Structure formats: C-alpha cells, structure tokens
Amino acid sequence: MISRFTYFKPHNLNEAVQYLEKEEKSFVLAGGTDIMILLRRNLINAEHIVDIKALPETVAFDFVDGAGLTIGASVVVNRVVDSEVVKAKYPALNQAAASLASFQLRNRATLVGNICNASPGADLPPALLAYDALVNIAGPQGTRQVPLHQFFTGVKRTVLQRGELVVSVQLPDPGEGDKSIYLRQARLRGHDLATVGVASRIKADGKVAIGICAVAPTPKRLFALEDQINERGLSQETIEWAADEISQHIHPISDVRSSALYRLQIASVLLKRGLLNLIGKED
C-alpha cells in the first residue's frame, strides 16, 4: 500500500523551495517514474509530494547558438529523443535517451529525474558528463550551478540539500566538428539497465571526453584517462592502448547483472569501439 502524503502544487519556484525547506519528508514530483516505484514498495517515507511540472523554469527546452542547450526538470526523455537539435549537436545524448526504458516510460520520465535518482547505472549521465553538463539548482540560499561530475556523491546520493531542487541542466554549445557516440551493453535486449554504458566524444579541437556508468558508485567522467589519451594524440594505436588502460580508472562490482571482471572487459570493448567509430575506423 502507498503511504499517505500531502500533495502540493506550487504556483512558482519560490513557493516550491519554501515548502521543501519547511516540510522535512518532502519529495519532488516531475515525471514520477522513479518516485512511484519507491512509494509502491514503501522504500521511502514520503509525507509531502511537491509537483513541479507546471513551473515555467522546469519546462524550458531551448538551444541558443554559442550558449548551448537548456533542458528543464519537467522535460520528458522522449522530447530529447525526438529533438533535431539534440540529434545534430549532441548525438551521444540522443542515443542514450533512446536507450532508456520503453517508449511509454520515456513519455513520462524526465532527464533531470534520471540524474537526480543518482543510479550508478543510469544511461543519461555518461553522455551528459561527456558534454560538460551543468546542473542548475534553486534553494533557500538562492541559485547555484554545479558541474555534473560534482553532482553525484554516492549511490542514490547527490549534493542537493534540504529545500533545494534541480531546475534544469545546461549543456554548452559543442560547435562545429564535434562528434560523439553512446554505446551500452545489457543482459537482455529491450529495456534492461546497462551493464556498462560509455559515451565517447571527440571535441572540435580534437580532444577526447569520456563518460561511463555502472563501473563505480556513481557515473564517472574519466578525466585522467582523457588527459593521457590527449597527451599521446588520438590514433588507432592510442585507442588500443586506452582500451587496455581503462581498467585502471574504473572500479566495478559484481552484482545480479554482471561480474566485475565482465564489466572491466566490456568497458574496454565499448571504449575502443566508440572511439574507432568516431575516427572512421569501425572495430
């Protein structure tokens, strides 16, 4: 049985923040695909549900040349999948979004909800990390902006404090010549969570960016490995080296979806395949 709770629909962002700060056991509702499962399974004790879907700041979905893309907290994943701008400018994000769950769930699930759930195996964070995503947060002390790689603090944990909520995610404009790809491996065809997911990106200046999920307590941006690749210079030889080296930068566990050893091997395969694809040499 779902626990009883008070439903509150704020008229503006300030009302939402004040309510979240005042009421201790409050949870934010946007898409609801995660929170409804938690409620049905009695995994959270929610006394207050704050519905932010209608707030103007959360419905933004805008691209500005030179500035980038803003995705509000209420924007559903299928809108990201269908966006021609995302397909053209942020292909790895488009591919990651299309791999999330089923079409029906993507019509309800939000991109921001996917990162706020903070699952180690979430599909969207690797691509967002590779694109240097920024998280726009509103709270009692005003607004702040946090790089996504600093947003996750552990399994199902983020930097959000009492009274705070994520308003939107912002991705810088990658410019011309930027290339990216998201590849994942799962146990089953269809809607299974990723065993490993890797977003590989080559920026317009030739530098590499790599985001990965399901190999650590949080999704990760592999900054140290990127630096080593960029120092060596991107080539097929460097890619072969990086595929071996990635095991030194991740710390997977064994669970019901995979062994740690398999995750190490698949991470290597997906990184190699992705980078070779981006330089025009299929694996």
The count of other CB atoms within 10 Å of the CB of residue 176 is 7
pTM as predicted: 0.96
pLDDT of amino acid 283? 64
- Tens digits of residue pLDDT in 218-236: 999 999 999 999 999 999 9
CA distance 268 to 280: 18
HSE-CB of 105 using CA atoms within 13 angstroms = 16
Helix (H) or strand (E) holding 37, with range, is helix 35-40
Can you list the domains of the chain with their CATH numbers? 6-51 (3.30.43.10), 56-171 (3.30.465.10), 179-278 (3.30.390.50)
Beta bridge partners of 134: 147, 170
- Tens digits of residue pLDDT in 254-280: 998 899 999 999 999 999 999 999 999
pLDDT for residue 24 is more than 80: yes
